[in-house]
Amino acid sequence: MEAINPKNQSLVNKAISWLEKYNKADDLRNIADGDGDEKAFRKHDRECEKTFDKFLEYMSVLPKNQQNAIYKSEKY
């Protein structure tokens, strides 16, 4: 995704990267939940929390219009 303001490109890339990591962890968490594997579920749940917190950290420093563009993108 291309940033609205080029000086924010690095932050946009990092936010999207953390969002992708969250989505992968969420998929694994859902699989573990469906299989009844409590240990794997807890592991992936903690990973989801960490990755989503990092995503929100990068989103918080981006301008509102860029945040909205990321939320509307296909990756979210």
pLDDT per position as a tens digit, 17-49: 999 999 999 999 999 999 989 999 999 999 999
User: What's the alpha-carbon Rg for the chain, to the nearest Å?
Assistant: 14
Specify the pLDDT at position 73.
Answer: 83
Q: Residues with Cβ < 8 Å from 19, sequence gap 6 or more? A: 55, 70, 75, 76
Specify the pLDDT at position 1.
Answer: 86
User: What is the model's pTM?
Assistant: 0.87
Residue among 48, 58, 3, 56 at smallest CA distance from 26? 48
Specify the pLDDT at position 76.
Answer: 56
Specify the pLDDT at position 7.
Answer: 94
Q: Which two tokens stand for residue 6?
A: 């080029």
Residue 75 has pLDDT above 70, yes or no: no
